[in-house]
Amino acid sequence: MPRRRQTAFTLAGLGLSGALLASACLLLPDDGGGPPTAPPEVQTVIAAYPELGSWEDRLTREAEAQTQIARAYPHALTARFETPPTLDPRGLTATLPPAPQPTFTPVPWLTPTPLLPTLDPTQLAGLLPALRQEMIPAANGRSLTRLTGWAAGLRSSGYCLDGPYRWLDDDHLLLYPITGLEEGMGVIEYTQPVVASLSGKPAWQPPTDGPISGCGLPLWSEALSGMIAVAGDEVALLTADGERRRQFNNTLAPYYAVSLSPSGKRLVTGLSWHDLETGQSVELTPADGFEAHRWSFYAAGWSKSENRLFKCCFLYADAVAGTSASFHVGQLALIGRGLPPGFSGLSSRWVLDDTRVMVEWDFSDGELSVIPLIDPVERRYQDVRALAGLPAEGYCGVPSIAPDGNRLVVACGEQYLIDLRRFAAQMLPEDYAFVSWSPDSRFVLLSQEDSPAAPLNAYLLVATENGETLRLADSPLIAPAWAPQGARLAFLRADGQALIMADLNAATVFQATLPARARQVVWDRQGESLAVVAEDGSLGWVPDPAVDRVEQMTSPLSEVRDWRWSPSGARLAFVSGPDVYVVDMAR
């Protein structure tokens, strides 16, 4: 019988009882007679904040920045002040220079990986017949499927959110084979996505406008078991086997004009909101002179109801009202210190029960002196830093917002935990760095270095309700991983020889001895079992973290990375070299 190891620890102190760069530009009027003048609201900002410089200085800096962009990216749109805005999408398209054509020639990789050959873009149809599935014996009677045949391999880990592949459902993988490389700021990877079936059906290619170098398409809705693909002005909803279920027209720039809600049940194409369950569509009519064809809701933040969207800096849409609008920093009413005129952002989050929005700002903004809490309906924002009573001097880093949208962690000199509902701030322990939020927002995980050369391996838990802290272990730990439900936290012992799991509801810790030194653990989506990745490239399986039992799934392989469970946990995929491997958990 497997041995059950259980060590109790106290959680009373935690109050637990038993249990794509968005560019922010000011739309400048141009009367053709000299430099544009500042809108009245912007003049008010400049007068109140002389440190921002004069309007002429602002235009000079903007022009210098555009010149630098034009030199670095000769194909980028640089005619911001030269071409009057237009509401005609064809007119706007006519002002764009030709799109850059990728050069499909081998270039050095940024890792020690040997040079890979580059596929001829005219031979993209050869991707499908080249793909092969091979059955390989695995450990303990399991089967291992190898998807191979592409000499150039798959997209790199960390290139876009999906990296080299993603699961669609338990029987289908969306693969991103490399079809070309281009030197730019780093290495730009081009791909032509392929859907591979593990149940014997033919592989197929989703419709695209050619090789893709960016992120975001095609999209997948797990709720509807459907793929959203874009080609030209058509947006198609497809099954995992490529059958067409529905299509939408897309009147804006196709690639950046499609946004899928977190539930996968709502879709925005251009300025149209669609309920994919009921078939209802709503036109998001532009208001207040909103220049619709200059913007899109690509990578927007969705409200919990999925009826409203917000994107920095700044777009807002309400599907219930059927309206949309854009505005800039100078049109926001200021409460507290102001934002810089060029403020931009990478992502937006609805907070406080969808009444306000917060922004993860752009790296080009650097550290800011304010933490804006934005009301997109009233077009105003408040400074969280001032409302929470934090020291006014110095700057703040990018805030990390809790999953439930009610709290955040931010460094403003010291590191603080702020409750947005009461604007109450608590200083977090010194010398600890923020690691992650628990999925249920009840805990903040912090880490500390033992020495400048050591990895982050001493961990603290902070309870968000009462601010109490708990040191998880006296010995160093590595590779923390929250279970999807947020009540269990897994670690590896620093020597990689043991898996440690803390059950925060039951106030207990379990330990499982590992057969080989491990470097990473991966929960399945149900939070019931874990995969353990060993340093030698083999994979183990812990069916129950509360039981000291580990089963080996694969023999050692080289360069094992990007290990991911299928939606139900029936299969586990990973990448080794240029190929994808899939372990079938059934025997």
Check residue 506 and give its pLDDT: 85
Query: What's the number of domains the chain is made of?
Result: 1
Q: Is residue 463 part of a domain?
A: no
- Of the candidates 480, 464, 441, the one whose C-alpha atom is nearest the C-alpha of residue 351 is 441
How confident is the model at residue 474, as a pLDDT? 67
Residue 50: cis peptide before it, omega within 30 degrees of 0: no
For position 294, what pLDDT does the model report?
54
Q: Which domain holds residue 32?
A: 28-84
Cα–Cα distance for residue pair 539/556, rounded to 1 Å: 8
Q: What is the pLDDT of residue 448?
A: 82
3-state secondary structure of 8: strand
Provide the pLDDT for residue 393.
86
Specify if 71 maps to a domain. Answer: yes
Residue 49 falls inside a structural domain: yes
Max Cα–Cα distance, the chain, nearest Å: 87
Q: Is 206 inside a domain boundary?
A: no
Mean pLDDT of successive 10-residue segments in the chain (587 residues)?
38 34 29 46 46 51 48 34 30 31 34 39 70 88 91 90 95 94 82 95 91 87 93 88 86 66 92 90 81 68 95 89 82 56 70 90 67 89 91 86 94 93 93 91 86 62 91 81 90 91 88 91 94 94 89 91 96 96 88
In the DSSP assignment, the letter for residue 215 is S
Residue 74 included in any domain: yes
| DSSP annotation of 177 | B
The reply to whether 277 falls in a domain is: no
Q: For residue 74, what pLDDT is reported?
A: 39
Q: How far is CA 174 from CA 191, 210, 240, 386, 507, in A?
A: 12, 16, 9, 46, 40
Q: Residue 45 domain-assigned?
A: yes
- The C-alpha torsion from 571 through 217 and 127 to 578, rounded to 10°, is -50
Please report whether residue 331 resides in a domain.
no
pLDDT at 330: 64
pLDDT of residue 92: 24
**What's the pLDDT at 303?**
96
Strands (E), 428-516: 433-437, 443-449, 456-463, 469-471, 477-482, 488-493, 498-503, 508-513
Positive or negative, the Cα torsion across 158, 164, 166, 167?
A: negative
